[in-house]
Amino acid sequence: MIGTHVSKIVLILLFMFGLIPATAVQGAQAESGLAGLGLPELSITLTTSAIEGIPDQVDAGRYLVVVTVDDDVEFGGGVGFIQPVGASSEDVLAELAALAGPPPEADGASPEGSPSAADAHGDHEEALPSAMFDSIYAGGTGVLSGQTGHVVVDLTPGEWIAWGEDPEAPQSPVIFQVTGDMPDNLLEPEAAATLVMGEYLIMVSEGELTAGSHVVRIDNVGAQPHFIGWVLLPDGTTEEQIGVVLDEEMQAEMSGAPPVYSDIDPEEDTMPVTFTGTQSADTSIWIEVDLEAGTHGLVCFFPDVSDGTPHAYYGMYTVIQVGE
């Protein structure tokens, strides 16, 4: 979940995991719909400071990544995978660290030209660092404290970084090598539905989302990296109402005052479902989600390559109705 502007929606996803029922978030279900497929497994444990369980070297392939978060990791965490391209892993990690640092404005003022939701293509000059944008993102998943989550990702040959999917995550990133060739005829898990991401859309392209535990495939068909922050919304919420929330948050950032919500308050009116690790173009992942019937909002906050504006402010959000 990389971003230079953090919406309340993202803050809720990151920091309220410890405050909601386990049945509401990916990884809470006891049974895994992905575990019996015979895929090679990468078992990872998140502690308060480390990502444990990743060998120094693994074979190239499609992996079932099993992520367990220790009970004492407040609010839970996530794991994603980055392959540097045209830069060293150390350069990428340095750019990650810089994203976690203070903004460049010494007086704390918002950058001039910060766009509102109604003017997302304004003169915003805070571009994503080049090494971060050029890297390959294989995806990942977010998991509650004390729970275990599952995601299927492809790890191609080369050097990779496992990281906490947030520049301020307390777990130290891990560098590891993937060797050999990708196997032919990779197994594709059966999915109840497929979500596609692109510039600047998120939509269900196949299948149907209904209440209960399901495997969902997510494809990035766009040119830029994307991820999904997924929340349960008040019944009947519209995309226009999400746009109003984003506009009010950007106006608050520009003024330096706390946001005042005219309709939906993300902290009071939404509940996290899951977030997915960042994916590059032409990548697919499979995750497990446990869904409640109702109105769901899906949004991407990855910074745009042109100006660093989170994709949500270019209209990359959607509302999906999940049936019984």
pLDDT for residue 31: 53
Q: What is the mean pLDDT of residues 247-260?
A: 90
pLDDT band at 100 (very low <50, low <70, confident <90, very high): low
Residue 75 lies in a domain: yes
Residue 3 lies in a domain: no
Tokens of 250: 């950007």
Query: How many separate domains does the chain show?
Result: 1
Residue 38 lies in a domain: yes
pLDDT band at 128 (very low <50, low <70, confident <90, very high): low
DSSP per position, 108-131: -PPPTT---GGGTTS----PPPHH
Which candidate, 278, 298, 230, 14, places its Cα nearest to that of 132? Answer: 278
Instruction: Kindly give, in sequence order, each residue whose CB lies less than 8 Å from that of residue 284, ignoring residues fewer than 6 positions away.
Output: 139, 154, 217, 218, 219, 220
Please state the pTM of the whole predicted model.
0.83
Residue 115 lies in a domain: no
pLDDT for residue 26: 43
Residue 265 lies in a domain: yes
pLDDT band at 248 (very low <50, low <70, confident <90, very high): very high
Instruction: Kindly give, in sequence order, each residue whose CB lies less than 8 Å from that of residue 312, ignoring residues fewer than 6 positions away.
Output: 7, 117, 246, 299, 300, 301
Residue 111 lies in a domain: no
Is the pLDDT assigned to residue 11 strictly greater than 50?
Answer: no
Is the pLDDT assigned to residue 289 strictly greater than 80?
Answer: yes
- 143 vs 65 pLDDT, higher one: 65
% of the chain at pLDDT higher than 70: 81
DSSP per position, 21-47: -GGGSTT-SSS-SSGGG---EEEEEE-
pLDDT for residue 267: 85
**Domain residues for 282?**
8-101+122-322
Are 68 and 44 contacting, i.e. CB atoms less than 8 angstroms apart? yes
- Looking at residue 256, the DSSP 8-state letter turns out to be T
Helix (H) or strand (E) holding 132, with range, is helix 130-134
Residue 175 lies in a domain: yes
